[in-house]
Structure 1
Amino acid sequence: MSDPLVDGTDVASLVEELTRSRQTVATAESLTAGLLAATIAGVPGASIVLRGGLIVYATDLKAGLAGVAEATLAVDGPVAASTAAELATGAAARCGADWGVGLTGVAGPDPQDDTPVGTVFLGVAGPDGVRVRELVLPGGRWEIRRAAVAAAVSDLLGRVRSGASG
């Protein structure tokens, strides 16, 4: 997988595929703090497909801005598969997009509660439902955040292509 923050290949393909299929995307980002939306926005023509993004670094904003249920946050916590799923669906709903991407995790330098550094949950919500993937990413804060963005671009691109061909 190429790193979209280095060569732009995957993210350019994502913008192209979204444009071709006349679909849009929105993000709800915690550990990446808007890096995914900024990466997409770096591609010429992204304004056609990028509806917006929510930076929900603080736990209370996950509920207030992105619509994550208080019960989800209380029971599962801010770094969980269920939270990523609700971030993704919340981003799509709040921004009026076809696709929503939710990212939550621990970039370090210290673990959060009992969650180790490098744990990331990536949620992608779209016309075919919501899917969440747990990632365990190596490196420091910057490397983990970059790798989370690369994974999000790759997953979303795969889902958009699947929908376009099926």
Structure 2
Amino acid sequence: MTRFPDEIGELAARVIYEFSAGGLMVVTAESCTGGLIAGALTEIAGSSAVVDRGFVTYSNEAKQEMIGVKAETLAAHGAVSKETALEMAAGALAKSRADLSVAVTGIAGPGGGTAEKPVGLVHLAACRKDGRSQHLEMRFGEIGRDEVRVATIRVALDLLLELAQAE
């Protein structure tokens, strides 16, 4: 069993409970978190009724091949961008049976950052089958690789809950 901070476990349990009650399924598309969002969700009993699948698309090739991110998007905006996160979320949703998706792409560090895209920059996106989507840009700073990833999981779970409740 993976040990997530209590707050992550509580948020994941809330997602599983609320999605199960609403008959909703979720799909994840993860880069910088490497499947940890899906992992947090599947730690919760009853998650099989809610979690359809998860895509770990760490490389640009995986983003393109698995969930249909366009090469032009990656060339124009880079892997860590609003545009890529939104295409990841839309692509994961299209390649699943889920009602909602969440996607994350970022720079967890400790290296890999630039002045324009520093360590701690994460783009998150969520989509619904009805076409609504949401994007967040987070700048967590150089708080450490694990801390960036945990903070990203927290925001992703909150984003799923928020979009699920949107009417």
Partner Cα distance (2:11, 2:159) in 1: 10
SS at match of 2:95: helix
Say whether the 8 Å CA contact 1:104–1:121 is kept in structure 2.
yes
Unaligned ranges ≥5, structure 2: none
**CA 149–72 in structure 1, closer or farther in 2 if over 3 Å, else same:** same
Q: Determine the C-alpha separation between the residues in 2 that align with 1:104 and 1:27.
A: 11
Instruction: Give how far 1:130 is off.
Output: 1.3
Counterpart of 2:111? Answer: 110
Equivalent position amino acid for 1:66 in 2: I
- 1:153 and 2:147 correspond: no
Aligned to 1:9: 10
> How far off its partner does 1:5 sit?
2.8
Q: CA deviation at 1:111?
A: 3.1
The residue number in structure 2 matching 1:120 is 122
1:14-163, aligned counterparts within 5 Å? 14-112=15-113, 114-126=116-128, 127=130, 129-138=132-141, 139-162=143-166
Cα deviation 1:116-163 (Å, max 9, x = unaligned): 00000000001351111000114111000010000000111122123x
Contact 2:78 2:84 in 1 (8 A): yes
Q: Would you say how many aligned residue pairs link Structure 1 and Structure 2?
A: 160
Deviation at 1:92, TM superposition (A): 1.1
Q: Which runs of 4+ in 1 moved over 4 A?
A: none
Q: Secondary structure at the match of 1:120?
A: strand
**Distance in 2 separating the partners of 1:133 and 1:117:** 16
CA–CA distance in structure 2, aligned partners of residues 128 and 137 of structure 1: 28
> Sequence identity of aligned pairs in percent?
34
The answer to whether the Cα contact below 8 Å between 1:53 and 1:95 also exists between their aligned partners in 2 is no
C-alpha distance in 1 between matches for 2:131 and 2:61: 29
Could you list the runs of 5+ residues in structure 1 that have no partner in the other structure? none
Provide the aligned C-alpha RMSD in A. 1.4
Q: What TM-score, normalized by structure 2, do the two folds share?
A: 0.91
Q: 8 Å contact 2:36–2:153 — kept in the other structure?
A: yes
